[in-house]
Structure 1
Amino acid sequence: MASEITPITMPKFGLAMTEGKVAGWMIAPGKPVKAGDELVDIETSKITNSFESPASGILRRQVAPNGETLPVGALIAVVADASVPDTEIDAFITRFQSEFAANNTSDEGAEAAVEPTLVTVGTHTLRVHDLGTGDATPLVLIHGFGGDLKNWMLNHAALAHGRRVIAFDLPGHGGSSKDVGPGTLEFFADVTAQMLDHFNLSRVHVMGHSLGGGIALTLARIAPGRVASLSLIAPAGLGAQVNMTFINGFIEADRTRALQDVLKFLVHDKSLIGRRMTDDVLRYKRLDGAQAALQAVAAACFPGGKQGDDLRPVLTGGQVPATLLWGEEDEILPVTEADGLPEAITRHVFSGIGHMPQLECASDVNGIVETFLKQHDH
């Protein structure tokens, strides 16, 4: 009967996450739960996020009480059908705990194997984080202006169930080399296509945020046969408006307080922009070539303080299935940019959310995107 028992383990929300704290259970022991129901709040050093049940059944045991901190992968609960005897549940927990303790050392070695790596793509060195396996069509994640692959820390692993999911730092960003050529969306789309060639990926789903959404749309324009679908979060390319106070402020800020104030444009819940996150961004901005790269990208993509690329025809042409996700309180690219698109393109607007829904309402975004991807696999 062990096959009818589902272990609920401490999730891994971020690349650097090694442990999490049980901040609060939302389902009591003995109560029914459905797959996708919010089960427990998990607190990390950076954020508190809801974790959804991966299975339906009865919450038979809460192994970890509120307030307990455990390593990633540790057992925190058990879900099983009511027909599974208590003795089976107890035996399962005992066996799991014993095996987890015994394998903890080898798990650390496995963890190191899935950390980001550097790959050479043409004349560029890209930092790439490659997770997941399976028969489903792979997914590529493209971050936005000034970001890096950590922008997907609450989405990457969650979407890598049964499919390969690749996140990477764009040239000029994060741990990638800083040459951005002309700095255009087409340049970045071409580098993305070269990366697909590097990994022998002929066709992929693409999920892009902000400038990364514009890159995803550009890739679909120049190589529609390689893009199975587009999941676009507040994408560039659908209108002229852009918050240049943010763009210029991000480029120019060279002190923690000034940068923190600029980063707060990204979210509706300003408390999410903490000192640690700000310091991480500031360290990147101080790397050789980073400042010049950002200036080149801004000049190419936002000439005269407006968006320079009209990518609406990619969506109105209907060649590639697409879904839009947007925060109603977006202060960078207004949600009204999506007005007037064909009804076939589903649009999800999140109230009380800013420019980064993948951070502010990660569970909702992950659920919507996972369903959409499955509809358009192969």
Structure 2
Amino acid sequence: MGHAGITPIVMPKWGLEMREGTVQDWLVKAGDRIAVGQAIVEVETDKISNAVEAADAGLLRRIVGHSGELLPVKALLAVLAEPEVGDEAIDAYIAAFEVPSAGTGDADAGPAFDSATVDGIRVRYARRGSEQGTPVLFLHGFGGDLNNWLFNLDAVAEQHPVIALDLPGHGQSDARLPGTSLAALARFVAQFLDAAGVAGPVHLVGHSMGGAIALQLALDAPARVASLALVSPAGLGAEINTGYTDGFVRAQSRRELKPVLEQLFADPGLVSRQMVDDMLKYKRMDGIEPLLAALGTALFADGRQTTVLAERLQALDKPLLVFWGEDDQVIPAAQAAHAGPRAELLRFAGTGHMAMLEKASEVNAALRRHLAG
């Protein structure tokens, strides 16, 4: 399907479940010169809206996917070509363009998810990337699931084996907890690695509560951990906005939940209707609400984090990368200072509690450097 001098821009695949996206606004127009990494078009999926960044540089000759169109992953959105490529050649290229069908010679072939039973609790997880090398395990936060990493898994899986799980009581894992302490959750993650056949050390990437679990595991079982990369982690200071965690547990309707979820992002517009609906559906599952209430109370009560690990970090002899949004409304960005003198710290302006979604390309680039080091 190649043609000399013509480069397609296609609908990206973000995360393990994305099948299609809706074209929103083009940020460039035909005749513009595009640079690699430039944000060119906004796309909305059933999880989140995000800008597609150009993978190639060139002259934008034709926009094919128009605002409001719902298109499958890998569908043609636009065409790059230098002026010497004629319009007829571009017309012919567009007419002949076929969207590769899902699963043909693709990493998507085979099941998207696995499950393992650990300590009597069935958990959903996903594996991506190569078989070789030290695996990278992603741990989401309170009330989240593995889809919190939808912009990050594939970027890391290009060079490393990747594993992401739904923690107990989250996502599509069983609505049961192995305990409500960080120690119990960290022990569970170690048992999960055994069940998933991962014997050696792993790189841990953790967000919020998942960041605290990662720290706890590294302190309790250092042989299992090669490095740590943490996004707005819990565990580094006492203060936390329990208005967020309590509000999340208590919200019973779209009207109540939407303003709670908006506290996660610097731009509240990132909270889509679908995101609110998905969270309500999860919260209405049998046993979830009391479980979240128990977990929230055990870890975060009255504006405080029960367990602060910062003092123990002196003993942590691991590469440590910390990301924090300056506008984090859940855990104050000032706590980044408690990560210790050896930590590499990246702070993002105009970013809230979800830097891995809000600043995905910067986070992914730094993660890849950290993991290669």
Give TM-score scaled by structure 2 length. Answer: 0.85
* Counterpart for residue 74 of structure 1: 75
* Counterpart for residue 339 of structure 1: 337
2:252 counterpart letter in structure 1: D
SS state at 2:124 partner = strand
Name which of 285, 294, 297 aligns with 1:296.
Answer: 294
Residue 217 of structure 1: CA displacement?
Answer: 0.6
Name which of 32, 35, 40 aligns with 1:33.
Answer: 35
* Counterpart for residue 97 of structure 2: 97
1:316 counterpart letter in structure 2: Q
Whether contact under 8 Å (2:60, 2:79) holds in the other structure is yes
* Counterpart for residue 24 of structure 1: 26
Whether contact under 8 Å (1:27, 1:40) holds in the other structure is no
SS state at 1:325 partner = strand
Residue 163 of structure 1: CA displacement?
Answer: 2.1
Residue 8 of structure 1: CA displacement?
Answer: 4.0
Tell me if 1:188 matches 2:190: no
Task: Map residues 81-92 of structure 1 onto 2, 5 A cutoff.
Answer: none
Higher mean alpha-carbon deviation, 67-76 vs 146-155, is at 67-76
Residue 336 of structure 1: CA displacement?
Answer: 0.8
* Counterpart for residue 323 of structure 2: 325
Name which of 250, 271, 274 aligns with 2:272.
Answer: 274
Residue 143 of structure 1: CA displacement?
Answer: 0.8
Whether contact under 8 Å (2:22, 2:43) holds in the other structure is yes
Deviations 1:165-194 (A, max 9, x none): 222111011211122132111111112112
Q: How many residues are matched?
A: 368
Tell me if 1:149 matches 2:146: yes
Name which of 156, 161, 166 aligns with 1:159.
Answer: 156
Separation in structure 2 between the aligned mates of residue 138 and residue 267 of structure 1, nearest angstrom: 29
Tell me if 1:11 matches 2:12: yes
2:183 counterpart letter in structure 1: E
1:355 counterpart letter in structure 2: H
Whether contact under 8 Å (1:33, 1:59) holds in the other structure is no
Separation in structure 1 between the aligned mates of residue 196 and residue 29 of structure 2, nearest angstrom: 42
Name which of 354, 357, 360 aligns with 2:355.
Answer: 357
Residue 135 of structure 1: CA displacement?
Answer: 3.5
Q: Percent same amino acid at aligned positions? A: 39
Separation in structure 2 between the aligned mates of residue 281 and residue 327 of structure 1, nearest angstrom: 23
2:97 counterpart letter in structure 1: Q
Unaligned runs of 5+ residues in structure 2 are none
Separation in structure 2 between the aligned mates of residue 225 and residue 152 of structure 1, nearest angstrom: 25
Higher mean alpha-carbon deviation, 224-233 vs 213-222, is at 224-233
Q: 1:64 to 1:324 in 2, by over 3 A?
A: same
Deviations 1:244-282 (A, max 9, x none): 112222222222211222222212212222332122111
Whether contact under 8 Å (2:139, 2:211) holds in the other structure is yes
Residue 348 of structure 1: CA displacement?
Answer: 1.4
* Counterpart for residue 112 of structure 2: 115
Unaligned runs of 5+ residues in structure 1 are none
Tell me if 1:211 matches 2:209: yes
Tell me if 1:252 matches 2:250: yes
Q: 1:244 to 1:340 in 2, by over 3 A?
A: closer
Whether contact under 8 Å (1:217, 1:314) holds in the other structure is no
Q: 1:328 to 1:109 in 2, by over 3 A?
A: closer
Separation in structure 1 between the aligned mates of residue 6 and residue 313 of structure 2, nearest angstrom: 44
Deviations 1:179-231 (A, max 9, x none): 21321111111121122222222222111110010011111112222222211
Separation in structure 2 between the aligned mates of residue 3 and residue 114 of structure 1, nearest angstrom: 36
2:244 counterpart letter in structure 1: F
1:344 counterpart letter in structure 2: R
Q: 1:295 to 1:29 in 2, by over 3 A?
A: same
Residue 105 of structure 1: CA displacement?
Answer: 6.2
Whether contact under 8 Å (1:232, 1:325) holds in the other structure is yes
Higher mean alpha-carbon deviation, 358-367 vs 183-192, is at 358-367
Whether contact under 8 Å (1:180, 1:296) holds in the other structure is no
Identify, as 1 or 2, the structure richer in helix.
Answer: 1
Task: Map residues 53-72 of structure 1 onto 2, 5 A cutoff.
Answer: 53-55=54-56, 57-59=57-59, 62=62, 64-67=64-67, 69-72=70-73
Separation in structure 2 between the aligned mates of residue 362 and residue 160 of structure 1, nearest angstrom: 14
Separation in structure 2 between the aligned mates of residue 226 and residue 51 of structure 1, nearest angstrom: 36
Residue 284 of structure 1: CA displacement?
Answer: 1.2
Separation in structure 2 between the aligned mates of residue 140 and residue 27 of structure 1, nearest angstrom: 40
Residue 343 of structure 1: CA displacement?
Answer: 3.5
Residue 47 of structure 1: CA displacement?
Answer: 3.2
Separation in structure 1 between the aligned mates of residue 118 and residue 95 of structure 2, nearest angstrom: 45
Task: Map residues 230-241 of structure 1 onto 2, 5 A cutoff.
Answer: 230-241=228-239
Tell me if 1:47 matches 2:44: no
1:118 counterpart letter in structure 2: S
Separation in structure 2 between the aligned mates of residue 90 and residue 140 of structure 1, nearest angstrom: 43
Separation in structure 2 between the aligned mates of residue 255 and residue 181 of structure 1, nearest angstrom: 29
Q: 1:79 to 1:141 in 2, by over 3 A?
A: farther
Separation in structure 2 between the aligned mates of residue 139 and residue 125 of structure 1, nearest angstrom: 21
Whether contact under 8 Å (2:46, 2:274) holds in the other structure is no
Whether contact under 8 Å (1:135, 1:162) holds in the other structure is no
Give TM-score scaled by structure 1 length. Answer: 0.84
Q: 1:275 to 1:39 in 2, by over 3 A?
A: closer
Task: Map residues 125-140 of structure 1 onto 2, 5 A cutoff.
Answer: 125-133=122-130, 135-140=132-137
Q: 1:341 to 1:45 in 2, by over 3 A?
A: closer
